[in-house]
């Protein structure tokens, strides 16, 4: 059996045991790269898939491979070469957008959707591929594949774009379906005003009639109990009738504090996909596509400067282009790299900032919506103990601080507490994908701010 046949045979068996949606999500674009001394190297499309395959399916994959070829004793997963893709169904679409100009798009009253956000102008890279694939699948079969679909990622990385693209695509394909996009803050204020005007029944009727409900930035529901309760009922009603619900947040459901448990478990009941940071190649692709859309032109050197320096936020990449194109129009000349540097000064982060224990503690506290004071306090409440242990773990793991130092830093505790915390988190990360995901997100924040 060659590598391809081996992998096809493995996939055929895996497919029998997991849902088609999961199969499509996690095993798409996988292949056996090579084998060496009983070790099979499988290439996957992104690090998120790698983590899932390793943690969730690793054992079964090895078992199947071993049953096919008993020389195989180990499997390793590797993220394959970066692929740049623009989602093209209709390759003449992009220039048309350029001609229209973004300002001319209007938000549609019925659906609250902005037609400028489409799949066609959404650029795909390893960082957002899963979220895009899931979104695309949902737009083709609302209520039929992933329900709810929950997309999370930091600000400026394309959540709203994707959510709205689903909405616009559904409107295009299923004109009879009632689709509605709403930011969570706006939903909250609708609930508040309905309470005030005693018109809650109307609000309920309005939402229950929707076929595809898109609620953006659900982290803003945190702590708003009445809104959560209303949304819970709407959610259940729609869900039971196989209506599609799509949600976004800046963090996974587990990490949204002050969210009623029953709502959290609903959010976790479907497909959860994250958007991480775009790699350099994708940042370049995004810049080039946006230049093309806007009919502007900058040298490769200028684009490289922007892509190398703005790494964490696609909105800022766009902001850089806007600024440079304004300069170009005003001065009627192409900016060179020196001018670009000065024009973009305040968009660009200063060179690598130092990571300090204080920063780690602050980021952990922020992530779990706690005050730093609470993490350092003597409290034994679970919702505080866990973040405190995570902070200890990160101090050890990232800064290699000594246990006595870590104990002292976290509210004057004994070094044995720090050791216990570190070991406990290490153990749990292995068992608990959610915890591993949360810690990854916290690390992203620590290294990006």
- Name the site residues for ligand ADP (rule: CB under 6 A): 121-123, 128, 153, 155-161, 286, 314-315, 318
Report the interhelical angle of 415-431 vs 382-399 (nearest 10°). 90
Name the nearest CA neighbour of 86 among 280, 286, 274, 281: 286
User: Could you tell me if 347 and 341 are in contact, meaning their C-beta atoms sit under 8 angstroms apart?
Assistant: no
Query: Minimum Å distance from CB 61 to Mg ion?
Result: 36
Q: Is 147 in the site for Mg ion (CB under 5 A)?
A: no
**For residue 184, what are the β-bridge partners?**
none
User: Could you tell me if 361 and 410 are in contact, meaning their C-beta atoms sit under 8 angstroms apart?
Assistant: yes
For residue 292, what are the contacts with CB-CB under 8 A and spacing of at least 6?
A: 94, 95, 98
Query: Minimum Å distance from CB 163 to Mg ion?
Result: 8
Query: Minimum Å distance from CB 158 to ligand ADP?
Result: 3
From the list Mg ion, ligand ADP, none, partner contacted by residue 446 (C-beta under 5 to 8 A by kind): none
Among 53-61, 64-72, 83-91, 157-165, the segment contacting Mg ion (CB under 5 A): 157-165
Query: Minimum Å distance from CB 367 to ligand ADP?
Result: 17
User: Could you tell me if 213 and 231 are in contact, meaning their C-beta atoms sit under 8 angstroms apart?
Assistant: no
For residue 243, what are the contacts with CB-CB under 8 A and spacing of at least 6?
A: 142, 143, 210, 211, 212, 213
Other Cβ atoms less than 10 A from the Cβ of 380: the count is 8
Residue 161 or 386 having the CB closest to ligand ADP = 161
Among positions 10, 132, 160, 276, the unique one binding Mg ion when judged by CB under 5 A:
160
From the list Mg ion, ligand ADP, none, partner contacted by residue 243 (C-beta under 5 to 8 A by kind): none
Residue 47 or 118 having the CB closest to ligand ADP = 118
Cα–Cα–Cα angle for 163, 92, 114, rounded to 5 degrees: 25
Residue 121 or 276 having the CB closest to ligand ADP = 121
Residue 102 or 226 having the CB closest to ligand ADP = 102
From the list Mg ion, ligand ADP, none, partner contacted by residue 318 (C-beta under 5 to 8 A by kind): ligand ADP
Query: Minimum Å distance from CB 449 to ligand ADP?
Result: 16
Give CA separation, 64 vs 59, 333, 430, in Å: 9, 62, 22
Question: How many angstroms separate the CA atoms of 96 and 43, rounded?
Answer: 37
From the list ligand ADP, Mg ion, none, partner contacted by residue 155 (C-beta under 5 to 8 A by kind): ligand ADP
List of residues contacting Mg ion (CB under 5 A): 159-160
């Amino acid at each position: 059996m060659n590598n391809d046949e081996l992998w096809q045979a493995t996939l055929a068996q895996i497919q029998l045991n997991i849902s088609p949606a999961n199969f499509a999500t996690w095993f798409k674009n996988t292949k056996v790269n090579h084998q060496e001394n009983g070790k099979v190297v499988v290439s996957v499309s992104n690090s998120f898939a790698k983590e899932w395959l390793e943690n969730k399916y690793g054992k079964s994959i090895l078992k199947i491979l071993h049953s096919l070829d008993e020389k195989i004793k180990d499997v390793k997963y590797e993220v394959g070469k970066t692929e740049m893709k623009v989602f093209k169904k209709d390759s003449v679409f992009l220039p048309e957008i350029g001609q229209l100009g973004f300002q001319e798009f209007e938000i549609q009253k019925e659906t609250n959707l902005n037609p400028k956000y489409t799949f066609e102008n959404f650029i795909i890279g390893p960082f957002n591929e899963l979220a895009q694939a899931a979104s695309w699948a949902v737009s083709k079969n609302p209520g039929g594949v992933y329900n709810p679909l929950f997309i999370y990622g930091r600000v400026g990385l394309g959540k709203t774009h994707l959510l709205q693209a689903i909405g616009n695509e559904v409107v295009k394909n299923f004109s009879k379906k009632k689709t509605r996009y709403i930011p969570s803050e706006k939903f909250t204020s609708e609930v508040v005003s309905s309470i005030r005007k005693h018109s809650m029944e109307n609000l309920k009727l309005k939402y229950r009639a929707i076929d595809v409900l898109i609620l953006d930035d659900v982290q803003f529901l945190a702590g708003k109990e009445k809104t959560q309760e209303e949304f819970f009922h709407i959610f259940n009603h729609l869900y039971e009738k196989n209506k599609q619900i799509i949600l976004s947040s800046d963090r996974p459901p587990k990490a949204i504090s002050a969210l009623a448990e029953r709502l959290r478990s609903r959010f976790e009941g479907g497909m959860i996909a994250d958007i991480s940071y775009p790699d350099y190649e994708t940042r370049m692709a995004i810049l080039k596509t946006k230049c093309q859309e806007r009919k502007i032109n900058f040298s490769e050197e200028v684009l490289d400067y922007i892509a190398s320096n703005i790494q964490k936020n696609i909105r800022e990449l766009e902001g850089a282009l806007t600024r440079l194109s304004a300069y170009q129009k005003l001065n009627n000349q192409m900016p060179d790299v020196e001018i670009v540097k000065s024009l973009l000064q305040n968009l660009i982060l200063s060179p690598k900032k130092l990571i300090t224990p204080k920063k780690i503690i602050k980021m952990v506290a922020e992530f779990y919506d706690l005050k730093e004071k609470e993490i350092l306090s003597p409290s034994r409440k679970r919702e505080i103990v866990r973040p405190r242990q995570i902070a200890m773990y990160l101090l050890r793991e990232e800064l290699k601080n000594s246990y006595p130092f870590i104990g002292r830093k976290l509210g004057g505790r004994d070094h044995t507490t720090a050791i216990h915390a570190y070991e406990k988190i290490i153990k749990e990360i292995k068992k608990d994908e959610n915890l591993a995901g949360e810690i990854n997100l916290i690390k992203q924040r620590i290294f990006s701010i």
